């Protein structure tokens, strides 16, 4: 029997070193670019691709100002660093990306001397996430304290309500006819309504029954229900990432949370000529939730083209009884927030006139 054996051809030390360096740079959380003396992109790591929303295949060899027009204001700084050979740092710089998203970054520029032409190593350290983490942590502590106070108050109110209902039932048994029966019936109905309202204020009390869950099936169920509730002119846009694996979640609770958010979006579109709700799913890497870093998370965006959220409501939007509508109870978003938190996730929003986006983040895997 003849066995063919392939000769082992070792790679050169230079190739091994280049591959190792590339692997190290791609595993950094800091976005790193390399620019030549004409400010054309010669290298970009994965963190920079995600942050700046550009791909290496399409961007290498192109001028940075063509890829991100807003960086034209930094051109003098780049050229000065090339000529002087001095590093440069600029804090909390806002950059407008091609998608219309504005990011806040710290920029570090380091010239690298080479035989022919110098080049620049540019580091973008995103500050939006750190600012958001600080803001979210403070807001979560405030909301938790407020929610505990509301829950305690709800428990105190439920006890006398039970006594009132019991007394009304005894009166109803004593007087089976006449106006008194009508009055006791009203008392029982109203105490039941208030008790149900208090139960909703207390939020979901069951522990999530975690199971493998397809998030896109849930989003499609939500879309179907919202379309049944909405007028015929509502438009749904879906932008799903089919590669997202199943998540470990309680499907009924997650559906209730997303349904509450979608209903909130639908209600905000009552006076919009061409109402649109957009559902987007993506994954993000190295995401921090409540000081815990997760390797990969699921991101769900629910976007509407309504009038936006009033500034006076933004700081307290996820608290119970906070609503921008006179007829609203203010419990839908509060319940959604509690459910997402039970799944170790976070619920945030970004709103301006004509565009409101609620973002659900849930860890993928353990």
Using CA atoms, how far apart are residues 258 and 339, in angstroms rounded to an integer? 10
339 and 216: one domain?
A: yes
179 and 162: one domain?
A: yes
Tens-digit pLDDT profile for residues 289-339: 877 788 899 999 999 999 998 888 877 777 765 655 555 556 788 888 888
Is 5 domain-assigned? no
- Mean pLDDT value across residues 3-10: 42
Is 258 domain-assigned? yes
282 and 149: one domain?
A: no
Tens-digit pLDDT profile for residues 9-48: 454 544 445 455 556 666 666 788 889 988 999 888 888 8
In order, the DSSP letters of 229-274 are HS-TT-EEEEE--TT---EEE-HHHHHHHHHHHHHHHHHHTTT-SS
Is 9 domain-assigned? no
Tens-digit pLDDT profile for residues 86-108: 888 888 788 888 777 788 888 88
Residue 332, pLDDT score = 81
137 and 110: one domain?
A: no
User: Kindly report the CA angle at 262 between 257 and 263, in degrees rounded to 5?
Assistant: 95
Is 348 domain-assigned? yes
Is 193 domain-assigned? yes
31 and 99: one domain?
A: yes
Long-range CB contacts (within 8 A, 24+) of 117-122: 117/36, 117/37, 118/37, 118/82, 118/85, 119/34, 119/35, 119/36, 119/37, 119/42, 120/34, 120/35, 120/39, 120/78, 120/81, 120/82, 121/32, 121/33, 121/34, 122/32, 122/33, 122/34, 122/35, 122/78
What residues make up the domain containing 173?
131-202
Backbone torsion region of residue 175, taken as left when φ is above 0, otherwise alpha when ψ lies between -120 and 50, otherwise beta = beta
- What CATH number did the domain enclosing 323 receive? 3.30.565.10
Is 7 domain-assigned? no
- What CATH number did the domain enclosing 103 receive? 3.30.450.20
Provide the whole-model pTM: 0.56
Q: Which percentage of the chain shows pLDDT scores above 90?
A: 24
93 and 182: one domain?
A: no
226 and 355: one domain?
A: yes
Instruction: Give 242's pLDDT tier (boundaries 50, 70, 90).
Output: very high
89 and 21: one domain?
A: yes
174 and 78: one domain?
A: no
176 and 224: one domain?
A: no
215 and 344: one domain?
A: yes
Residue 135, pLDDT score = 56
Instruction: Give 203's pLDDT tier (boundaries 50, 70, 90).
Output: low
Residue 323, pLDDT score = 59
240 and 268: one domain?
A: yes
Residue 100, pLDDT score = 74
Closest CA to 284 of 99, 46, 34: 46
Q: Is the pLDDT of residue 175 over 90?
A: no
Tens-digit pLDDT profile for residues 264-293: 999 999 888 899 999 999 998 878 787 778
Neighbours of 334 (CB within 10 A): 24
Looking at 126, 155, 170, the residue that finishes a domain is 126
Using CA atoms, how far apart are residues 104 and 93, in angstroms rounded to an integer? 5
Looking at 202, 231, 257, the residue that finishes a domain is 202
Residue 341, pLDDT score = 86
Looking at 101, 126, 151, the residue that finishes a domain is 126
Using CA atoms, how far apart are residues 364 and 366, in angstroms rounded to an integer? 7
Neighbours of 343 (CB within 10 A): 20
Q: Is the pLDDT of residue 249 over 70?
A: yes
Is 235 domain-assigned? yes
How does the average pLDDT of the chain come out, rounded?
80
Q: How many domains does the chain have?
A: 3
Q: Is the pLDDT of residue 169 over 50?
A: yes
Is 106 domain-assigned? yes
């Amino acid at each position: 029997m003849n066995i063919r054996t392939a000769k082992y051809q070792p790679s050169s030390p230079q190739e091994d070193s280049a591959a190792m360096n590339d692997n190290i740079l791609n595993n950094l959380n800091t976005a790193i670019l390399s620019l030549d003396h004409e400010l054309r992109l010669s290298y970009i790591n994965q963190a920079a691709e995600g942050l700046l929303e550009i791909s290496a295949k399409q961007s290498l060899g192109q001028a940075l100002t063509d890829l991100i027009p807003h960086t034209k204001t930094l051109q003098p700084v780049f050229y000065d660093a090339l000529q002087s050979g001095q590093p440069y740092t600029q804090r909390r710089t806002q950059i407008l990306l091609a998608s219309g998203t504005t990011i806040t970054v710290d920029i570090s520029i380091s010239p690298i001397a080479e035989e022919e032409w110098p080049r620049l190593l540019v580091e973008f350290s995103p500050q939006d996430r750190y600012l958001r983490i600080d803001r979210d942590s403070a807001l979560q502590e405030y909301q938790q304290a407020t929610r505990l106070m509301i829950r305690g108050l709800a428990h105190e109110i439920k006890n006398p309500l039970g006594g009132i209902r019991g007394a009304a039932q005894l009166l109803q048994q004593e007087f089976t006819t006449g106006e008194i029966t009508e009055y006791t019936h009203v008392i029982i109905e109203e105490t039941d309504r208030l008790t149900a309202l208090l139960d909703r204020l207390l939020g979901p009390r069951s522990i999530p029954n975690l199971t493998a869950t397809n998030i896109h099936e849930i989003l499609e169920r939500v879309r179907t229900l919202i379309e049944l509730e909405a007028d015929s002119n509502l438009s749904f846009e879906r932008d799903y990432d089919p590669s997202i694996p199943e998540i470990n979640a309680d499907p009924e609770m997650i559906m209730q949370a997303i349904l509450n958010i979608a209903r909130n979006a639908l209600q905000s579109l009552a006076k919009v000529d061409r109402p649109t709700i957009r559902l987007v799913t993506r994954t993000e890497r190295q995401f921090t939730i409540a000081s815990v870093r997760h390797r990969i998370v699921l991101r769900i965006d629910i976007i509407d083209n309504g009038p936006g959220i009033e500034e006076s409501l933004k700081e307290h939007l996820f608290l119970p009884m906070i609503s921008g509508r006179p007829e609203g109870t203010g419990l839908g978003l509060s319940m959604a927030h509690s459910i997402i938190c039970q799944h170790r996730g976070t619920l945030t929003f970004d709103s301006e006139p004509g565009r409101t986006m609620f973002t659900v983040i849930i860890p993928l895997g353990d």
